[in-house]
Structure 1
Amino acid sequence: MANFFKRLFAKEDPSVYQKKDAHLIQVLTVKDFLALGVGTIVSTSIFTLPGVVAANYAGPAVAISFLVAAVVAGLVAFAYAEMSSAMPFAGSAFSWISVVFGEFFGWIAGWALLAEYFIAVAFVGSGFSANIRGLLAPIGFNLPASLSNPFGTNGGIVDLMSLVVILLVAFLLSRGVSEAARVENALVILKVFAIILFIIVGATAVKASNYVPFIPEHRLNADGTHFGGWQGIYAGVSSIFLSYIGFDSIAANAAEAKNPSKTMPRGILGSLLIAVVLFVAVALVLVGMFKYSSYAGNAEPVGWALRKAGHGVIASVVQAIAVFGMFTALIGMMMAGSRLLYSFGRDGLLSKWLGVLNENNLPNHALFVLTVIAVILGAFFPFQVLSQLISAGTLIAFMFVSLGIYALRPREGKDLPVPGFKMPLYPVLPALAFIGALIVFLGLDIEAKEYSLYWFIIGVVVYIVYGMHHSNLQKNLK
């Protein structure tokens, strides 16, 4: 039994990762990571969540919900920036926690993130499908229900558009990160233009009366959720936090960064700052244009608000750009997810086939597996409930990384390099980051917590049954 626990808490040597990831080509710059981060964080949700959360939870105070969520995300981002600067390895939280706390804990953090990537890719793919079909319908292009919905949903067999867009992004990534980065950069510029266009045009229709009262009086809804007051703002934070988790996709690609000690912190913190400004501005303009209750049950509040204010052409332009901007979120999530799977294969925790690089030093085996699973989830299965795992799994990884700073600091300048960025106000901020992520996690609904527990149990079983017996680290201990 003592040997079992010794193996469970065994820590990976960071030099092993440095050698294994050395074959990955370091081509990504700060500009690329800013585009990757903004493209992943500022995805479909910026055009939907501000209206939904305002109507269901916070009223005009939705802007406060976005700010509070941003503060928590920012604290965690500081921890991510230091970790990625000291340990620029593929796999982000999985690799870092394996070094500072041990392989088992690294596996749990990585396993939690894996749920995020599988489901998020499928989620965005389905969102792209619904929106592109909505744009094409006015010109007479309509797919039959069998090719528009997941299997067993409204007469569906396969969501064809979701399948096609995921395969297209996979093909782009299989050709190299440089090509993907160029596409990402161009699409992110377009998407930010569309958001700024909405803010400028929408601001002309803002009425001060729509902000009163800014924090509506609290009430308990029939379904047990809170609206108004600080309770509603808190409920909004947990719903909104999903928007900010994309900076993990930057960290997952750290092994392919030029000068990672400077590139990674700037990419992570810079993209989050840009995203916060855009989210808060959209939220304030949206609730200022029309009473927050107008957005109840509205799947496209930004487009609706522009059309209602007499800007139909602008609405079409913004929505069209938003649809193609979803490519940016897919690129970011699929890059990060494939690097995480590569890391599992690299370390022997899953099939070593996943850790094989092709002749161009790309982890295309891992990309292939991620693509197949995402296509199955997005094209064939309805997954509204499973989407709860996206926030829950990521918050668990965030808590690990925040606490990991305490184990990292004593090793900096010894077996780990002194990072180009250090989390300020140590040792206070790492604790605040952990507590903030925990509070947001506790604010998730009960289904999210239940599904994260089931996923955790499956992960532990996989590690004990397979990972522990095939891990490179464990083999070296024998």
Structure 2
Amino acid sequence: MNSFFKRIFLKEDPDVYRDKDSHLRQVLTVKDFLALGVGTIVSTSIFTLPGVVAASHAGPAVALSFLVAAIVAGLVAFAYAEMSSAMPFAGSAYSWINVIFGEFFGWIAGWALLAEYFIAVAFVASGLSANFRGLIEPLGLVLPKQLANAYGTSGGVVDVIAVIVVVLVGLLLARGVSGAARVENILVVLKVLAILLFVFVGLTAIKASNYSPFIPKYHPNPDGSAFGGWQGIYAGVSSIFLSYIGFDSIAANSAEAKNPKKTMPRGIMGSLLLAVILFVSVSLVMVGMFKYSSYANNAEPVGWALRESGHPVVAIVVQTIAVVGMFTALIGMMMAGSRLLYSFGRDGMLPKWLGKLNDNKLPNRALVVLSTVGVVLGAVFPFAFLAQLISAGTLIAFMFVSLGIYALRPREGKDLPEPGFKMPLYPVMPALAFLAAFAVFWGLDIDAKLYALYWFIFGLVIYFGYGMRHSFLSERKGKRLEDKK
């Protein structure tokens, strides 16, 4: 039994990751990571969640929900910036926790993130499909319901547009991250311009009366969730936190960064700051244009608000660019998810062929697996179901990374290099980051927590049934433990 516990708490040597990841091409700059971060964070949610959360939970105070969520994400982002600067390894939290806490905890953090990437790919593809169909239907182009909806939803069999977009992004990434980064940079600029266009046009239609009362009086919704008061703001934070999880996609690609000590902190913190400004601006303008209750059950509040305020052409332009811009989130999620799968294969935690690079030094085998799972989930499972696990899995990883700073600091300048960025207010801020992430996790609905529990149990089965037996770390160090017995 003692040998068993020693084995699952084995820590990976950081030099092993440096050697294995050195084969990846270090081509990504601060500009690329800013585009990747903004493209992933400012995705489908900015065009939908401000209206939905305002109507369901927070009223005009939805901007405060976004701001509080940003503060929580910012606390964790400080930890991510230090970790990625000290350990620029593929796989982000999975690889970091493997080095500082041990293989078992690394697997749990990585497995939680894998749920995010699998489901986020399908979630964004499904959302892109819905918005694209909404744009072409007024032109008389209507897909048969069997090809327009997920299996079992409104007579659907497969969401064919979701399948196509995942395949297209997979083919783009298979050609290399430099080409994907160029496409990402262009699309992100277009998306930000579309958001700014909505904000500036929307400012002309704002009515001050729509902001009163800014924080509505508390009362429970029919489903038991909170509306109004600080309770409604808190419920809004948990509902929209998935908007901010994208900065993990930056860290997952840190092995491909130029000068990661500077590139990673600037990319993570810079993209989060830009995202906060955009989210709060859209929220304030949207609830100022129309009473927050107008956005109840509205799947496209941005386009609706523009049309209702007399700007139908602007609505078409913004929604068209929004659909194109959703590709940026898909590129970011698929890049990060494939690097995480590669990391599992690199370490033998999943079949080792996942950790092989092709002749162009790209983890395309992992990319194919991620694309396949994304196609199946996005084409078969409905949009609402896919949203459940995204925040839960990521928040678990966020808690691990926040506490990980305590284990990282004593090793900096020793077996790990001094990072180019350090989390301020140590040792208080890592604890605050952990508690803040835990508070948001606690506020998730019961279904999200249950799905996270099922995924966690499934992960334990795979770890003890396969990963622990086949990992390179166990093979290398486990034999030493056996020899000492």
Same fold (TM over 0.5): yes
Deviation of 1:155 (Å): 1.6
Question: SS state of the match for residue 115, structure 2?
Answer: helix
Confirm or deny: 8 A CA contact 1:97 1:400 kept in the other structure. yes
RMSD: 0.7
Paired residues in the alignment total 478
User: Which amino acid in 1 is paired with 2:145?
Assistant: A
Q: Specify the SS of the correspondent of 2:294.
A: helix
Secondary structure of the structure 2 residue equivalent to 1:53: helix
**Structure 1: distance between partners of 2:61 and 2:11:** 45
Deviates most, 287-296 or 135-144: 135-144
Q: Which moved more, 1:276-285 or 1:154-163?
A: 154-163
After TM superposition, give the deviation of residue 386 of structure 1 in Å: 4.1
- Structure 2 distance, partners of 1:144, 1:220, is 40
CA distance in 2, matches of 1:365, 1:460: 24
Matches within 5 A, 1:23-422: 23-382=23-382, 384-422=384-422
The SS at the match of 2:246 is: helix
Offset at residue 461 of structure 1 (A): 1.2
Q: Distance in 1 between matches of 2:472 and 2:457?
A: 23
Contact 2:347 2:473 survives alignment (8 Å):
yes
Distance 2:374 2:106 in 1: 23
Cα distance in 1 between the residues matched to 2:50 and 2:384: 19
Quote the Cα distance in structure 2 between the aligned partners of 1:256 and 1:458: 31
CA contact (8 A) 2:122 2:386 kept: no
Measure, in 2, the Cα distance between the counterparts of 1:319 and 1:460.
42
Per-residue Cα deviation, 1:363-384 (whole angstroms, up to 9, x for no partner): 0000000000110111123352
Does structure 1 retain, via aligned residues, the 8 Å contact 2:126–2:383?
no
Query: Structure 2-normalised TM-score?
Result: 0.98
Query: Given residue 298 of structure 1, which amino acid in structure 2 is its aligned partner?
Result: N
Judge conservation of contact 2:118–2:374 (CA < 8 Å) in 1: yes
- Write the distance in 1 (CA, Å) between the matches of 2:134 and 2:60: 28
Q: How big is each residue's C-alpha offset from its partner over 1:325-354, in whole Å with a ceiling of 9 and x where there is no partner? A: 000000000000000000000000000010
1:41-69 CA distance string (max 9 Å, x none): 00010011000000000000001101000
Contact 2:388 2:448 in 1 (8 A): yes
Give the structure 2 partner of residue 473 of structure 1.
473
Measured after TM superposition, the shift of residue 153 of structure 1 is 1.8
Kindly indicate whether residue 46 of structure 2 is the aligned counterpart of residue 18 of structure 1: no
Q: Please list the CA deviations of residues 220-270 of structure 1 after superposition, one character each: whole Å capped at 9, or x if unmatched.
A: 122111000000000000001010000000000000000000000000000
Matches of 1:138 and 1:442, distance apart in 2: 42
CA distance in 1, matches of 2:55, 2:382: 25
Aligned equivalents of 1:44, 1:333: Cα separation in 2: 13
Question: 1:73-129 CA distances to partner (integer Å, 9 max, x unpaired)?
Answer: 000000000000000000000000000000110000000000000000001111111
- The TM-score, its normalising length taken from structure 1, stands at 0.99
Which structure 1 residue ranges, 4+ long, deviate > 4 Å from structure 2?
none
CA contact (8 A) 1:377 1:383 kept: no
Residues 386 and 451, structure 1, Cα contact 8 Å, conserved in 2: no
How far apart are the structure 2 equivalents of 1:63 and 1:6? Answer: 48
Ranges in structure 1 where 5+ consecutive residues have no aligned partner: none
Q: Which amino acid aligns with 1:10?
A: L
CA distance in 2, matches of 1:384, 1:214: 29
> What percent identity do the matched residue pairs reach?
77
Bigger Cα displacement from structure 2, 369-378 vs 151-160: 151-160
2:483 match: none
Q: Partners of 1:384 and 1:139 in 2: how far apart?
A: 27
Find the aligned partners of 1:106 and 1:330 in 2 and give their Cα distance.
25
Give CA deviations for 1:159-218 in whole Å, capped at 9, x if unaligned: 110000000000000000000000000000000000000000000111111111000000
Q: Compare 449-458 and 83-92 and name the one that shifted more.
A: 449-458
